[in-house]
Structure 1
Amino acid sequence: MKPVRKAIFPVAGLGTRLLPATKTMPKEMLTIVDRPLIQYAVDEAREAGVEQLIFVTGRGKASLVDYFDMAYELERTLDDKGKDKHSLDPSRSGYGELVSVRQQQPLGLGHAIWCARHVTGDEPFAVLLPDDLMVGRPGALKQMVDAYEKLGGNIVCAQEVPADKTSSYGIVDPGMSDGHVTEVKGMVEKPDPADAPSRLGIVGRYILQPEVMEKLAAHETGAGGEIQLTDAMAKLIGTQPFHAIKVDAVRHDCGDKTGFVLANLALGMEDPAIAETIRAYLNR
């Protein structure tokens, strides 16, 4: 069983739910307290042992790659003024190899993953959706990697979703369960509540075997007329082990305004430098 050394970050989306902020800025560069969303996802991947970061980008996303580069002019200015450079940690602490791949057309999550096929090769890989901010200790992906080392195959992160929200998720058709681990017998992408096989919804973390790229290569469209990752994963069920994991982490959907604001509030309340000020304001 090969280790999970590579992670794909699909970051080509337009972020339309957060307009107008995302008109000129990638949604993944919007900050939660003092760090952009993309750094939370990258930190989570690095904690889980990922060595190679694969950004699937689109037009106007160059700042995502620049963020993890050295900032020579800024560092020189801070040096000249005798200021602490600790706040520049992302460009200084060795985030491993970063590869950028361009998704030319917005054809869906499955297509974005397929665009990275030449980089992942014949190795298993993780997928992290940065706007799904997962807060846990250890991180969600580290918990999944620990499970992968015991179970092998393919693993998706899942949580119970409201019955009336199944049409917003890939939904698991569950088999046997053992604690936080559930066997996956099937998957349905964004089913109506009446057709959903369960309320176990897939959220933005995956560990997948390279064979999923072969399924995505057919470029079959599914829900919304897009190439759906869920449809490709479903074709692997029965040929490889497939499990859903409920991780010990809090999920914030930062792809919309409500989730973005609540994530800032929740993480701000955990920051000792500002928590008291926030608490006092809320009490008023």
Structure 2
Amino acid sequence: MIKKAVIPAAGLGTRFLPATKAQPKEMLPIIDTPTIQYVVQEAVDSGIEDILIISGKGKRAIEDHFDRNFELEERLQQKEEALYQEMRRLSDMANIYFIRQKEIVGLGDAIYYARQHTGDEPFAVLLGDTVMTSVIPVTQQLADLYDQYQSTIIAVETVPADKVNRYGIVGGHKLSDSILQLNQLIEKPAIETAPSNLAIAGRYILTPGIFKAIESTPKGKNNELQLTDALLNLLKREQIYSHTIEGKRYDIGNKLDFLKTTVEFALRREEFASPFFRFLQEIVATHQSNGDKA
């Protein structure tokens, strides 16, 4: 059983400047809920209540978000009972710990900060700027497979073949429609040499062996220690499997996908769905009547 989760959230968020100059990109809201709250909720829904967030300079807002705010709670308790209960639930949803990555030098380096917290246990990793929607939480899907294979499990998703050069891609021996036993992990391969169109999707179950693998993995491009390189190193010592997720991944790391995500989530909200859909229809009709090209 997976009992601990690690959420890397130390990146600078440069693609969202100037919005991220003074706030973490993980705190950018999808409507009224910060991105990282969806990530923490996925871990909790997967039965994990011990969560370590790897933060960095200027990320204090994440800690404050999951902490108590007694003055706010007192005012809400007097006037807005539902919001009061939501704020209490937020601060009580998990045991959340924080450690700061001293230098932003790659995802592999960030994961290495978790070694004392996770010890000799396998643990989940959920990227802080990636939101998943699914019937069964994606982290739970991976944890269930870990119980079967007792090895590192990587979440992957199918991407268009002509876009594999944008992602970390896996290859291996097919065990079922959704499971591969891996023999390749390649970061942004050329289209003609990609072993598959299965892209790493921001969720992992890692064994403690990842830490020794990180220690023996040299830094690569931009002097960063990449998790994909460390996993390739781990593959020399242990078996690694991938699981094609049942659900949808939303990458909040770029502006266009953030906008698309906000629209989709708004259309799922009962209080917004109908009027917002009508608004979108009006916008499309206006653009079409003006002869605008998509």
Q: CA deviation at 1:90?
A: 4.4
> In the alignment, which residue of structure 1 is the partner of 2:207?
209
Letter in 1 for 2:142: M
* Aligned match for 1:119, one of 117, 120, 137: 117
> In the alignment, which residue of structure 1 is the partner of 2:285?
none
CA RMSD of aligned residues (A): 1.6
SS of 1:173 mapped into structure 2: strand
TM-score under structure 1 length normalisation: 0.94
> In the alignment, which residue of structure 1 is the partner of 2:196?
198
> In the alignment, which residue of structure 1 is the partner of 2:232?
234
Q: How many residues align?
A: 281
TM-score under structure 2 length normalisation: 0.91
1:182 has 2:159 as partner: no
1:63 has 2:61 as partner: yes
Whichever of the two has the greater Rg, that structure is 2
User: Structure 1: which 5+ residue stretches go unaligned?
Assistant: none
> In the alignment, which residue of structure 2 is the partner of 1:86?
85
Whole-angstrom CA distance in 1 between matches of 2:168 and 2:104: 19
Q: CA deviation at 1:44?
A: 0.3
Whole-angstrom CA distance in 2 between matches of 1:224 and 1:191: 17
Q: CA deviation at 1:42?
A: 0.4
* Aligned match for 2:93, one of 92, 95, 110: 95
* Aligned match for 1:158, one of 136, 156, 159: 156
Q: How far does the alpha carbon of each residue in 1:252-280 deviate from its partner, in whole angstroms, 9 at most, with x for none?
A: 11111111111111111111111111111
Aligned CA distance change for structure 1 residues 201 and 224 (closer, same or farther; 3 Å): farther
Q: Percent identity?
A: 37
Q: CA deviation at 1:51?
A: 2.3
Q: CA deviation at 1:224?
A: 4.1
Q: CA deviation at 1:135?
A: 0.8
* Aligned match for 1:259, one of 254, 257, 260: 257
Whole-angstrom CA distance in 1 between matches of 2:157 and 2:179: 11
Contact 1:162–1:199, Cα closer than 8 Å, also in 2: yes
> In the alignment, which residue of structure 1 is the partner of 2:13?
15
In terms of fraction of residues, the more helix-rich structure is: 2
Q: CA deviation at 1:219?
A: 5.0
SS of 1:251 mapped into structure 2: strand
